[in-house]
Structure 1
Amino acid sequence: MALDGATVAFGVDQHVYTAVEQATLNVAEAEFVAIVGPTGCGKSTLLNVAAGLLRPAAGSIRIFDQPLQGLNRQAGYLFQADALFPWKTARDNVAIGLEIAGTARTEALERAQQWLVSVGLGGFGDRYPHMLSGGQRKRVGLAQVLIRDPQILLMDEPFGPLDAQTRQIMGDLLLRLWSAHRKAVLFVTHDLEEAIALADRVVIMSAGPASRIIGDWRVPLPRPRDIFEVRLLPDFHALHRQIWDVLKDEVMKGYAQSQGPAEISR
């Protein structure tokens, strides 16, 4: 996936807001790239461009070296909020993507059950979303995306609402599945530690408006990784300090903008 000078703007005439300006980003096959930046800097906007949900006002996006026209059919999108149908069981929620694509229901349900086993929910197929914990619903959502075998995973703070322990468990699960299936991943998070622990590269965006990509660091940590153990390594802390030296100024800019003039002056 390649974004070349992508600019995203909203509004018309004199009321145009530029969310992202001149974003250039390449994600190779089987590469895990994390995007980190202040609140409101356009991280999710870039994901929506990559998904084909937004068309850039300038610049281009190519998927497997072909211009993206319409929706990105090569990608699966895991949102921060649950995207499960409350009236369907976990197994039915996972199977629905295959059924819509024309797979026979019996086969779709069999494959859905296999994916539930893969995410550690083999015995939960008959439960409805309200009967599952937050972490379990995230596992169902992950299986729901992966069952369609997308070549690119777009993930918008998928573990954000979870507690710290569950986030760590989900991070380890994601790395295990990624290692087995080697999809390209574009992962948005506010958590710099999470980004370093998961990714091959960490990309930093500036505070908006007209947010830009201002840093791109390769993560020199060996794989496979354990989310807890990797955070104890000296190389992890050295990279965290290096990135935070750049990111902290942008975070403070974003915070100041969110407060408004009255709050800043206090």
Structure 2
Amino acid sequence: MPSATEAPQGPLAVHFDGVRLAFPVKNKPEYEVLAPLTLSVAPQQFISIVGPTGCGKSTLLNVAAGLLKPTGGRVLIDGAPLPGLNRGAGYLFQQDALMPWKTALQNVAVPLEIAGIPAAEAAERAQAWLGKVGLARFGDRYPHQLSGGQRKRVGMAQVLIRDPQLLLMDEPFGPLDAQTRQIMGTLLLDLWAGTGKAVIFVTHDLEEAIALSDRVILLSAGPSARLIGDYDIDLPRPRNTADIRLLPRFHELHHAIWSQLRGEVAKAYAEQAA
């Protein structure tokens, strides 16, 4: 797998080429969120980005989505510069993006209807996706009638029904309890396996990052956050995100990454307290 410091070799799902991002601040020097950063993500690769609060994890995700334009550098998608909104990406946010006046089935069908798919076909495909996420009998339920985990399953189906080749996930399981997060993580891996999709997953939970990923990318404390760690996660697949945490290698990886991460977390808290 390509590392963060290597030049890109062959086709890449995403390549951040010296990406820098800064915001203007009135009557003050600009605020640099991300120092120049180079990172490659291969097709079919699942990477997680971890780092202290405020280090620019979500910002980097928004750059890949085309929602933010880099101040410097460029983003390549499948080898071509990203000109604007990344229409080949699916984005799953931390907060629910479901329409409260639509049923689960109708919410899942929305992306197809926007794409001009006839309503009957969209509903049929949406029902199939509800089945894939274990909600075949819940299609007539409204979001307020679903648990947090069930709403997340509807949200995943809503994103995946478009068949995006790149999945951008910004702490999608953050609001859920620990047990439900593990169940959702295993479901995500089952849906992702064999699809050929690349995944960029942002999380504050280091255990979650290791359990899901092929690589864990570590950002330093901000401002001017830098890429300071790129860890290969050499755990066997397929994985159950609960069982994988029992392996000695899991704990070795956790210790190695946390040994570097905890210093950055301390820096971030000191910066915020100053």
TM-score of the aligned structures, taking structure 1 as reference length: 0.96
CA RMSD in angstroms comes to: 0.9
Q: Which residue of structure 1 lines up, in the alignment, with residue 245 of structure 2? A: 231
Matched, 1:210 2:236: no
Deviation at 1:69, TM superposition (A): 0.5
Aligned partner (choices 121, 124, 130) of residue 138 of structure 2: 124
Output aligned runs, 1:29-48, within 5 Å: 29-48=43-62
Matched, 1:114 2:132: no
The letter of the residue matching 1:126 is D
Deviation at 1:16, TM superposition (A): 1.1
- Name the CA distance, whole Å, in 2 between partners of 1:183 and 1:29: 6
Deviation at 1:257, TM superposition (A): 1.8
Aligned partner (choices 6, 18, 40) of residue 5 of structure 1: 18
Output aligned runs, 1:146-161, within 5 Å: 146-161=160-175
- Name the CA distance, whole Å, in 1 between partners of 2:237 and 2:166: 20
User: What secondary structure sits across from 2:242 in the alignment?
Assistant: helix
Q: Which residue of structure 1 lines up, in the alignment, with residue 207 of structure 2? A: 193
The letter of the residue matching 2:207 is E
- Name the CA distance, whole Å, in 2 between partners of 1:180 and 1:28: 14
User: What secondary structure sits across from 1:49 in the alignment?
Assistant: helix
Deviation at 1:162, TM superposition (A): 0.2
Output aligned runs, 1:233-252, within 5 Å: 233-252=247-266
- Name the CA distance, whole Å, in 1 between partners of 2:153 and 2:28: 45
Q: Which residue of structure 1 lines up, in the alignment, with residue 71 of structure 2? A: 57
- Name the CA distance, whole Å, in 2 between partners of 1:85 and 1:22: 38
Output aligned runs, 1:132-171, within 5 Å: 132-171=146-185
- Name the CA distance, whole Å, in 1 between partners of 2:29 and 2:88: 34
- Name the CA distance, whole Å, in 1 between partners of 2:185 and 2:28: 44
The letter of the residue matching 2:241 is I
The letter of the residue matching 1:34 is S
- Name the CA distance, whole Å, in 2 between partners of 1:118 and 1:202: 27
- Name the CA distance, whole Å, in 2 between partners of 1:119 and 1:183: 18
User: What secondary structure sits across from 2:21 in the alignment?
Assistant: strand
- Name the CA distance, whole Å, in 2 between partners of 1:154 and 1:199: 13
The letter of the residue matching 2:22 is A
TM-score of the aligned structures, taking structure 2 as reference length: 0.93
Moved more, 84-93 or 4-13: 4-13
Unaligned runs of 5+ in 2: 1-13
Moved more, 165-174 or 8-17: 8-17
Q: Which residue of structure 2 lines up, in the alignment, with residue 178 of structure 1? A: 192
- Name the CA distance, whole Å, in 2 between partners of 1:215 and 1:153: 22
Count of aligned residue pairs for this structure pair: 260
Moved more, 130-139 or 14-23: 14-23
Deviation at 1:14, TM superposition (A): 3.5
Aligned partner (choices 116, 125, 128) of residue 102 of structure 1: 116
The letter of the residue matching 1:2 is H
Deviation at 1:182, TM superposition (A): 3.1
The letter of the residue matching 1:186 is I
Aligned partner (choices 25, 35, 44) of residue 39 of structure 2: 25
Q: Which residue of structure 2 lines up, in the alignment, with residue 80 of structure 1? A: 94
- Name the CA distance, whole Å, in 2 between partners of 1:192 and 1:123: 34
Unaligned runs of 5+ in 1: 262-266
User: What secondary structure sits across from 1:17 in the alignment?
Assistant: strand
Deviation >6 Å, runs of 4+: none
Q: Which residue of structure 2 lines up, in the alignment, with residue 264 of structure 1? A: none
User: What secondary structure sits across from 1:60 in the alignment?
Assistant: strand
